[in-house]
A and B are shown apart, each in its own frame.
Chain A
Amino acid sequence: MSSAGAYRHLFTPLRLGPVTVTNRVLFSAHLTNYATHGVPTEQHAAYYEARAIGGAGLIITEEHSTHPTDWPYEKLIHGFHPEVVEGYRRITERVHAHGVPIFAQINHNGGQASSMYSRLPVWAPSPVPDPLFREVPKAVEEHEIREIIDGYALVSAHCMAGGFDGIELQCSHSSIVRGFLSPATNHRTDAYGGSLANRARLLLELVDAVRSTIGADKALGVRICGDELIEGGTTIDDAVAIARMVEATGQVDYINTSIGVATATLYMIEASMQIPPGYAMFIPSAIRAAVDLPVVGVGRFKDPLQADRALADGLCDMVGVVRGQIADPDFAAKARSGHASDIRTCLSCNQECVGRMGLNRWLGCIENPRTGKESVPLPAPRRHKKVVVVGGGPGGLQAAVTAAERGHQVVLLERHVRLGGQAHVAAIVPSRAEFFDIARNLIAAAKREGVEIRTGVDATAATIRGEAPDAVVVATGARPLRPWWAGDDGRVVDVRDVLEGRAHPEGRVVVVDELGFHQATSVAELLADRGCVVEIVTNGMVVGQDLGVTLDMETWNVKAHDRGIVQSTDLVPMGVSRPGDEGPITLSLQHHPTGTDEERICDWVVCAVHQQAEDSLFHELRNEPFEVHRVGDCVSPRRAHAAVIEGQRVAVNL
């Protein structure tokens, strides 16, 4: 199918001032934590290059800080240091080699920072502490505002020396410019506070300073927040007015948009699968109606059809696809060449991208084990082998796909009639359905790569021997493990028993959460929707403690409230009793901080607890004449990313 076929809008050129992009797929700015000692690395260059090869219309790098007072996270690029230019050149040369333009985002995070790394006071318009960092900033004085502007000019000059085609000013979700624009954080009474014109003064002075540094041949964009989603913050009317002011300067070539404040409402910026796609399109559409400049829309664009539709509907002129291209660098190329169904669709699970960012780790992806490792070449495949993979969950599928891609003959045996393992199980809960994309993508890839898939096969040592393999990858997963306190009551069941349809709890249900992730909360949601009265008890201080990492905490708590789900913390189960197996269950609990005993009377108990590795086949095969490896939960039951990484690692080293 030709490019003009399926996605007529996506694959048309667009002028952003002096720069013309060939398509509307933007790899917009996002943190990667790939910098070391404040400078960009080879890891950056290879990462961006992969998306350029994959056909992105435009790349905008992560932010480059403009001043030493700005150091909110460890691996920030210190754009004000001249040492960065070398790293910039490496990035731009590698991206330009594939005909793709690349802009640099420059920024000062203002009060959305702490002094921990910089050992300097944090700068902001007013002494209003940020809700995340909670440090009172220093209200900048007039001479310090000049210093900020000089910093932007300096970093713009570094970016020009580094070969960028344009500059984007992040004024949207974590920025001193946002701080000035927002009535929530700007309480000044001088020329930089009060009216919108005053609050926008810094922005307009920065536009002036940067444009005069970069000249007319380079593009300049401004990223604006359309709704901060905080009390007293910027809303869409202000954003539209700001966009008009920006356009009126005549010095800006495009407007990018965003929603939320990174340190207050991040869950709406990097929305997980709990937030509907396209949720932020009211912003670019309102701005687009007010200005003639091209406007970028963002917000959980997962597939090219959805992006094309946003353009067709006139909501925006260009579409930011970040996680979609983290998961699949070839997102645009596959869409353009009529292979959209081959795209490794992002799940919006936020586990290894957003989740790792928040923990100061390098950016990865749950289903793309090469994300962030583009700069590390894979070893060349050695002798072609016959490989038998046992288990069709994410770990086994990834091993099979990678092995087949590398030229091995691969047979995959799965005991169940369907593939996907626990990814399939997790996705049974309606609000978690997109999690199944990890399996769907892998199954499609396995078929594409010619993996011979046999389902409904209970692989034994004998069956495997019969295959005469050169190598075996055991990916047999895990099975539920009954906790010591659960006894043998048939109404004390595992989450998997419920999701896989072996148990049908009714009435009063207590979910025991010892994992702190989606297992307990999603089964609770499911059961509440089926009419159960649900309470979650956990030994932790919070139910679902890791939901904060994937930005699911807010939506979970709203859902729990709507469904009347009770959340109880600091409780350790001590036993269950149900005399004569009749009537309700008594669940004994201990409140461990105080040592007091509690009870719950309920009809069912559902356990979200650690599973047991299904490793007997692996141990049986250890003395066979072929090489045997194991990956994923049969090593130790963990989360999906571990299975994918291990599947890939083992297959690469076959």
Chain B
Amino acid sequence: MTVDGGVRLADPITLAGVEAPSRAVFGPHETNLADDRAIGRRHVAYYQARAAGGAGVIITETASVHPSDWPYERAPLATECSQGWQAVASTCHAVGAVVLAGLGHAGGQGSSAYSQSALWAPSPVADAASRELPMAMGADEINTVVAGFGEAARLAVAAGMDGVEVDAGALSLLRQFHSGITNQRDDAYGHDKLLLTTQVLYAVRSAIGPDKVLALRLSCDELAPWAGTTPEHAAVFVDTLADRLDLMTVVRGGPYSATAYRPDAHTPAGFNLDLCQTMRQVAAGRVPVVLQGSVVDAAMAEEALADCSADLVELTRAQIAEPNFVAKVAANEPVRPCILCNQACRVRDNRNPIISCVSDPRAGHETTDPVVDRPVEEPTVAMTPTPPRALVVGAGAAGLECARVLATRGWQVEVAEQTDRTGGALRDAAIGPGRTRLAALVDWLEASCRSLGVTIATGREVVAEELDSAREAGVAVVLATGSRSAPPAFSSDASVTVLDARSALAGAPEDLPEGTVVVHDPIGGPIAIGVAEWLAAAGRTVAIVTQDQICGTLLSLTGDLADANVRLQRAGVARERRALLRGAHEGAVQLEDVWTGQPRVVPASVVIDCGQRLPDEALYDARPGTPRAGDCVAPRTALEAVLEGRRRALELCGVSITVNDDSSATPSLAGVMA
């Protein structure tokens, strides 16, 4: 809070003569919302929602400045983006936000799968992730890239954008030139590692003129001090470049640490605070500096602004989860939280998933999903004389979201929860290193329900007959009864205690019998890794058993795969890979190699089964056809629970649900053009 009690985040700031209505930046990120390689209609709706919610500066998804760069299938290409940029600019300007076009070239960190041409890079150094060897750029290629940045910037401002942001962040050609790891040239571009960037900035400034915003996203720490860019190098870069820029975002990440750029909750929020403060001191007021790095809470953003660590704060994931973030913070309303899970918003994946959010599954689907939440300025919903009533059975994510949405629309709702606490599976899972933040979502759902007058009764079991009487009384019923544990797929004897993950997490690590704890993970997901880390942190001897070649394979989507394996190794967790768990007998588990059938035995006193669960269908089976949501349909993740809880509520309100929003013809931009 400022001295006068206001919110600093909501203070305007002027960049190159353009006023941004707030200090909150919605940074560039992959969305897979493009129509082929064009910024499309879905992008427009996505950005517009954040602009309307108070974002000060929006930087659109990074567009490649030249066809030699095609890092993922739906990566925008600048020459295809004019129309889309124009639509984004006009819709966002209508609500005041400053809009910059993200421009970049991924260089050797791109992909040749779509262009079917050699990757361009400073030197023939293979990317650590893809292992693809790029070609060393010659003078022609360098000139092409410089000209590409200039031309792309010209297109962007011609389309009405307020300026551009040049990408020299974790996944960028410019950073590759900055780094001793990837730049091994012995020409001028090797001797002066900033030369290409300065040429690019010159070309861009020449294209856009002094009255448009020239921003830079700069990796200031590659986390590879033996040859990479360190904060000391970066300080020199910042000092050299500050005068040419109107905005600078301090980020980190490089060839061995691309996932450090926007990690999940295993990395503490605000990890760039010190780095940003250092760079801001170097910039010494010559350019406003943006703090980036898992900042998702308003309080942290306020503090960074208050103690002069930053001039603006990038709150990308926070605004994916809550498009009205700034407006809600300014109105002192609770904000739907980002839980830093990266489950649905990190979409650099071959399958081209549409960006979305566990907290708000409407994210990325703004063109098809109905508006769920009332805008901040709208008064409390009008209450009809006899509000419709609903009984929601189960207070997990699905049940609470269903109740919340109904209550938002004027329903009188009771949530009946069988156990003694709300939050269901998500709260049970919110235990252990990097996992506690998960509970924030159910906390928020519960608080929202309560503030909307929803009755939440814990320890209240609902029987089938009560569903009948509710119906007879005109009360709508939704089942969100969650899941039950599945019988283990292996046999066991009394020498080994077998329990499921939720039962284990309900106790304490020291409650388990002495000896080695085997964590059985047929899913390859975050739960088993979390259980293993939780046990290891308590000093237990742990082995994790997976049929895969790598533990936690599904974590490649969240970016935690390599990190999780490093953590397990450092914690001394034995990783029994490509192993089928066949039995738990005689104080051991009997394993079998998935391919060779070779048996092996690992001592065990406890097996914690983290396998898939079964739907709790007892009530549904008693009254088939009752609307239901979440794990009681099929046990999946919190995303599906929230989505289905919401859908059941909207259906009760008579709102139609569109599914399959990517069928038939490409939606046209025409409808949104000003």
Contacts and interface: CB of A to CB of B under 8 A. Distances in A.
A636 B135 contact: yes
A514 B643 contact: no
A642 B118 contact: yes
B570 A83 contact: no
B202 interface: no
Given A541-B550, A638-B118, A514 B131 contact: yes
B119 interface: yes
B80 interface: no
Given A37-B664, A134-B524, A542 B549 contact: yes
A636 B124 contact: yes
Nearest to B128: A539
B455 interface: no
Contacts of A516: 131
B351 A74 contact: yes
Contact of A361 (B114, B353, B635): B114
B595 A610 contact: no
A278 interface: no
B528 to A, nearest CB: 12
A466 interface: no
A594 to B, nearest CB: 6
Interface stretch (B262-270, B389-397, B609-617): B609-617
Residue with the greatest number of chain A CB neighbours at <10 A, chosen from B113, B522, B615: B113
B159 interface: no
A635 B523 contact: no
A277 interface: no
Interface in B147-174: none
A111 to B, nearest CB: 10
B350 interface: yes
**Chain A contact surface mostly:** loop
A117 B352 CA distance: 9
A386 interface: no
B351 A557 contact: no
B135 A78 contact: no
Given A39-B664, A73-B351, A134 B523 contact: yes
Interface stretch (A135-143, A238-246, A312-320): A135-143
A461 interface: no
A134 B549 CA distance: 16
Interface stretch (A13-21, A119-127, A153-161): A119-127
Contacts of A638: 112, 118, 132-133
Interface string B331-372: 000000000000000000011110000000100010000000
A360 interface: yes
Contact of B666 (A37, A78, A137): A37
A74 B352 CA distance: 8
B659 A118 contact: yes
A136 B635 contact: yes
A115 B114 CA distance: 26
A613 B660 CA distance: 47
B652 to A, nearest CB: 18
A116 B133 contact: no
Contacts of B674: none
Nearest to B666: A37
Contacts of B117: 646
B569 to A, nearest CB: 5
Contacts of A558: 595-596
Given A127-B634, A134-B524, A514-B131, A360 B73 contact: yes
A642 B116 contact: yes
A220 B635 CA distance: 37
A361 B113 contact: yes
B633 interface: yes
B663 A81 contact: yes
A490 interface: no
Contact of B643 (A39, A119, A646): A119
Interface residues of B, number: 56
Interface string B577-617: 01000000000000001011010000000000000111100
B472 to A, nearest CB: 24
Interface in B123-153: 124, 126, 131-135
Contacts of A561: 593, 595-596, 598
B95 interface: no
A38 B350 contact: no
Nearest to B667: A37
Given A141-B624, A642-B116, A554 B569 contact: no
A541 B664 contact: no
**Chain B contact surface mostly:** loop
Contacts of B525: 134
B566 interface: yes
A129 interface: yes
Given A83-B663, A610-B124, A645-B116, A593 B566 contact: yes
A593 B598 CA distance: 28
A138 B633 contact: yes
Contacts of A545: 131
A68 interface: yes
Interface string B105-122: 000000011101111000
Interface in A81-136: 81, 83, 115-122, 127, 129, 134-136
A542 to B, nearest CB: 5
Interface string A353-376: 000100111000000000000000
Interface string A607-621: 000101100000000
Interface in A2-38: 36-38
A245 B565 CA distance: 50
B636 interface: yes
Interface string B616-636: 000000001000000001111
Nearest to A143: B625
A237 to B, nearest CB: 23
Nearest to B596: A561
A515 interface: yes
B636 A135 contact: yes
Contacts of A81: 663-664
A71 B661 CA distance: 12
A558 B624 CA distance: 48
B285 to A, nearest CB: 40
A68 B659 contact: yes
Contact of B662 (A83, A117, A542, A612): A117
B550 A360 contact: no
A194 interface: no
B615 A610 contact: no
B118 A593 contact: no
Nearest to B135: A636
A635 B643 contact: no
A115 B570 CA distance: 35
A54 interface: no
B124 A613 contact: yes
B350 A360 contact: yes
A637 B112 CA distance: 13
A338 B640 CA distance: 58
Contacts of B116: 642, 645
Contacts of A38: 660, 662-664
A71 B554 CA distance: 19
A545 B130 CA distance: 10
A36 B36 CA distance: 10
B665 interface: yes
Residue with the greatest number of chain B CB neighbours at <10 A, chosen from A122, A360, A545: A360
Contacts of B596: 557-558, 561
Interface string A523-555: 000000000000000000110011000000110
11 contacts: A116-B351, A116-B353, A118-B659, A119-B659, A127-B635, A134-B612, A136-B613, A360-B352, A554-B595, A638-B112, A646-B117
Given A83-B663, A127-B614, A636-B135, 10 more contacts: A119-B659, A121-B640, A134-B523, A136-B634, A360-B73, A361-B73, A542-B549, A557-B596, A593-B565, A610-B124
Interface of A: 36-39, 68, 71, 73-74, 78, 81, 83, 115-122, 127, 129, 134-138, 141, 356, 359-361, 514-516, 541-542, 545-546, 553-554, 557-558, 561, 570, 593-594, 610, 612-613, 635-638, 642, 645-646
